[in-house]
């Protein structure tokens, strides 16, 4: 809808660019988190005890300065705030985009956009659904699809990935994560205004590729290794 008047008292904080900066910063928080999470997962290659020890130490981290699970809760709060900020601004921008073109083209070609850039919104939604399932599976209340006990983190992980459809869900989720990171990383760097030359833009795109391959690949190694029998109880 066009406004025939000039806006008075425009504020930077109220702009769509501010919303994008919120998305970019919260996205960078997630990137930092998934890198740390992936490191923890790869502990599975060090065996049952090392993996469980790591999980246990996360709860004791910073004691006695922090209370039991204190560090974990600081992280959880940070992630919850980042998630709300990320999803709320995505929703606002999605709505704006839908209203900006209500009459669609009969024919529209994509000339430049990558698959990852076009799937950010639906892919993000898929990741959100996956996170819900992932938390049910491994955090609260913990679900062992193989029917075994849920007390031992390492065994719960191996049991879960021994079920074929669980492996499929996790691998698909990692594909979605890889796509999201591929465009998201570049987009965040661009939104923060660090790509003012062609070469810095190319480097930001490379960073997107590297993070997508390293993170999605690193996470996928564990379920694939369970499937191949490299990681077992």
- Residues interacting with another protein, by CB under 8 A? 1-7, 10-21, 93, 96-97, 99-114, 117-118, 120, 183, 186-187, 190-198, 200-201
Q: Which is nearer to another protein, 48 or 201 (CB)?
A: 201
Report in angstroms how near the CB of residue 26 gets to another protein at its nearest. 15
29: left (phi over 0), alpha (psi -120 to 50) or beta: alpha
Enumerate long-range contacts of 116-122, CB under 8 Å, 24 or more apart: 116/179, 116/180, 116/182, 116/183, 116/208, 116/212, 117/183, 117/187, 119/179, 119/180, 120/180, 120/183, 120/184, 120/187, 121/90, 121/94
Q: Which is nearer to another protein, 110 or 139 (CB)?
A: 110
Report in angstroms how near the CB of residue 99 gets to another protein at its nearest. 6
Q: Which is nearer to another protein, 65 or 100 (CB)?
A: 100
Q: Which is nearer to another protein, 17 or 36 (CB)?
A: 17
CA 143, 146, 148, 151: dihedral to nearest 10 degrees? -40
Report in angstroms how near the CB of residue 98 gets to another protein at its nearest. 8
Report in angstroms how near the CB of residue 210 gets to another protein at its nearest. 18
Cis-peptide, bond into residue 221, ω within 30° of zero: no
Report in angstroms how near the CB of residue 177 gets to another protein at its nearest. 18
The alpha-carbon radius of gyration of the chain (Å, integer) is 21
Q: Which is nearer to another protein, 113 or 139 (CB)?
A: 113
């Amino acid at each position: 809808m066009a406004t025939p008047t000039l806006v008075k008292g425009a504020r930077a904080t109220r702009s769509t660019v501010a919303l994008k900066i919120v998305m970019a910063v919260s996205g960078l928080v997630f990137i930092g988190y998934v890198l740390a999470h992936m490191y923890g997962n790869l502990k599975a290659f060090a065996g049952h005890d090392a993996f469980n020890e790591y999980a246990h130490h996360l709860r004791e981290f910073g004691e006695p300065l922090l209370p039991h699970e204190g560090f974990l809760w600081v992280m959880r709060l940070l992630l919850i705030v980042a998630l709300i900020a990320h999803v709320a601004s995505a929703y606002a921008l999605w709505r704006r985009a839908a209203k900006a073109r209500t009459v669609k083209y009969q024919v529209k070609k994509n000339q430049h956009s990558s698959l990852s850039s076009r799937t950010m919104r639906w892919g993000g939604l898929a990741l959100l659904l996956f996170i819900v399932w992932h938390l049910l599976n491994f955090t609260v209340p913990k679900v062992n699809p193989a029917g075994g006990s849920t007390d031992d983190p390492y065994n719960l992980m191996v049991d879960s990935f021994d079920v074929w459809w669980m492996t499929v869900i996790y691998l698909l989720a990692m594909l979605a994560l890889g796509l999201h990171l591929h465009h998201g990383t570049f987009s965040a760097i661009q939104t923060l205004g660090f790509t003012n030359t062609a070469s810095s833009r190319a480097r930001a795109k490379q960073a997107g590729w590297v993070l997508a391959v390293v993170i999605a690949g690193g996470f996928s190694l564990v379920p694939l290794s369970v499937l191949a029998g490299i990681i077992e109880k």
